[in-house]
Chains A and B, each alone.
Chain A
Amino acid sequence: MILAVVGGKGGVGKSTVAYNLGAHLDAVVVDADLAMADLPGARGPDLHDVLAGRATPVEAVREGGPVAMLPCGRSLVGARACEPTALVDAVETVSDVYGRVVVDCPAGMSGDVGLGLLVADACVLVTTPTPAALGDALRARALARELDAGLVAVVLNRGTETAPTETIANRLGAPVTVVPEDPAVANAQAAGVPVATTAPETPAAAAFDDLADAVERAAPSARR
């Protein structure tokens, strides 16, 4: 299964959701934000090298950390030199070897978001309860539908109890999981570990667990 995490707007927590979801699903998280990678990196070949033909996708996967990662390089030069359409084959190769893959898509509606959705079997949409984020979420949702990446869940990040989850679920057409604002999430992300490791008792960790369950329930099983 290949799952894309999209959001449209930047800063809504796509990478955090992708990383924590990857931990719960035991998946490889691919940081597909070619120009502004923000998941934990490390030494060794990265996605830029893969997309420039300098490394194979599998040798760029880091299994050492709490979550298996295919990190992205952080240099603009590296981003400039890579061939973005190769992302599709790269992610499929990783999925063939490792099974589950979570693709952390960049913000915006550019080609790299589309490529992440194209290769994905399903997607999770991350948004925050603000008008700008919700507007972008609707656009990302339309793109996901066009590219046949079924929306399996919406994450309302930094949501509150009063958030209009029902309206959001109706507009976007998928169940909504609220991840509450919690410094434990940010701290864990900064430390490069999933929140379930550092603060398993928090509501946020429970929310990611629920989300992973929802994905497992709804992810298309008929196809492969």
Chain B
Amino acid sequence: MVTLDWETDRTDGVTLVRLYVTAEDRRRVRIENRIDGPVWPPREEGQPAAGWDDDTFEGVVAPGHRLVAGYATPEPPRNPPAEVVADDPADAEAPLGPVGAEAVETDAGDDRATATDGGSSGTTTGTGTLGRHDNGDRPADGSTGTSNGEEPTPEGVVRSLGDPVVPREAVPVPDASPENESSGARADDSSGLHEDDSPAPHEDNSPTPDEDDSPAPREAESTAPSPDETASANSETPGGSGEESVETGDEAPLEEPAGDGAVATPNRAGLSLEGIAQPQTDAELVVPGAVRAWLRDVDRRLAAVERRQVAEATDPDPTVQIAVAGDRRALASVADRVETLVGRARAVEHGANDPDDGGR
């Protein structure tokens, strides 16, 4: 038993017809247009979509899998717009959906090509996605899906179209040394790596590496510059809300409380407790994404080196070693910094205001 439902919609002199076929067992159905006029099937690359042949559509439907087809015609709608003209039991192996969806390039493809050349004079009136079957079992007709026969996934979309995340190189970073704090210039990769202790990353919340390592494989080049990442982490405020500028001076957003604190805390002990406690509660909730991104990148680099060492038991190439050394310095100074700040935070929490105990 096959049931055909439909919707029609007339816009701008064109009638759009949506057909929905359901069945109680696996059937191969052929549906013919009953509207008195030409049928404009959906087209892909100029060819009628799978399942269409002149004014008939053929497909396989099964219980739980609605077969969907759509087309357009210049004539006004009538009821029914189409009828089931053939309805046969289908093989269990027959793929669901429009017939020929997977093998159009064989004989059917040739037929269609000639039909298009001769007849429809390039009228590409698509009805969008209506000519698709509904659930699952989707033929691999495009590249945005994942692998064969699956619905597109967010990951598949990113894989095939490209990761839209801003490349690391595009993010301007302040010069890492505190002396040049106003410079918004991009730190050159190699020079940044060779600067001795200058990357001086300052994080005022503990960068617990609690993060998900799984999502969005970012490029894990082994020569990635660590100063870059530390600096980007640096200008990210913990709340992340409304940062206006990415080229805040090196010390600006996070050092502010520290620098000020040294002067102001003794004078307004009561007030400052509030002022300092606020960002900390925010920061307790989550580690800023930039910090997580940095830690993730470092993690990847180290994992890559470890893998190579295990595999070859030889020296990794020197650029990687330089990168790892850079990572180590940056991590160490972050660790120092974090420890200092944690100490100060504790001190403030206990009301023991000694602004200098965290200074350098």
Chain A residues in contact with chain B, CB under 8 A?
Answer: 34-35, 41-46, 48-49, 52-55, 73-88, 106, 109-115, 118, 143-152, 169-171, 173-175, 214, 217-218, 222
Contacts and interface: CB of A to CB of B under 8 A. Distances in A.
B133 to A, nearest CB: 11
Contacts, number: 173
A149 B7 CA distance: 18
Given A80-B168, A148-B129, A222-B18, 13 more contacts: A43-B242, A54-B289, A77-B243, A77-B246, A80-B293, A81-B290, A83-B215, A84-B154, A85-B216, A145-B42, A173-B126, A218-B11, A218-B16
B129 A77 contact: no
B292 interface: yes
Interface of B: 7, 9, 11-12, 14, 16, 18, 20, 42, 44, 123-130, 132, 141-144, 152, 154-155, 157-158, 160-166, 168, 170-172, 215-216, 232, 235-236, 239-246, 285-286, 288-290, 292-293
B324 to A, nearest CB: 22
Point out which of A83, A86, A152 has the most chain B C-beta atoms below 10 A from its C-beta: A83
Contacts of B128: 144-145, 150-152, 173-174
B240 A45 contact: yes
Nearest to A109: B161
B236 A78 contact: yes
Contacts of B7: 222
B243 A75 contact: yes
A112 B288 CA distance: 22
A83 B216 contact: yes
Contacts of B124: 170-171, 173
B163 A77 contact: no
Contact of A46 (B18, B44, B171, B241): B241
Contacts of B160: 114
Nearest to B45: A142
B231 to A, nearest CB: 9
A35 B166 contact: yes
A35 B168 CA distance: 12
B151 to A, nearest CB: 8
Given A75-B246, A81-B290, A217-B9, A111 B157 contact: yes
Closest 5 CB pairs of A and B: A52-B289, A81-B289, A173-B126, A150-B128, A112-B164
Given A87-B154, A151-B128, A46 B290 contact: no
Contacts of B18: 222
Contacts of B127: 173
A147 to B, nearest CB: 6
A114 B144 contact: yes
B157 A118 contact: yes
Contacts of A146: 141-144, 152
A53 B212 CA distance: 11
B129 A54 contact: no
Contacts of B130: 150
B47 to A, nearest CB: 13
A74 B242 CA distance: 8
A94 B293 CA distance: 26
A44 B242 contact: yes
A81 B293 contact: yes
B246 A76 contact: yes
B164 A173 contact: no
Contacts of A170: 123-125
B216 A150 contact: no
19 contacts: A35-B164, A43-B241, A46-B242, A54-B288, A73-B240, A73-B243, A75-B244, A75-B245, A78-B236, A78-B240, A81-B292, A83-B216, A84-B158, A84-B163, A84-B164, A114-B161, A146-B144, A173-B127, A218-B16
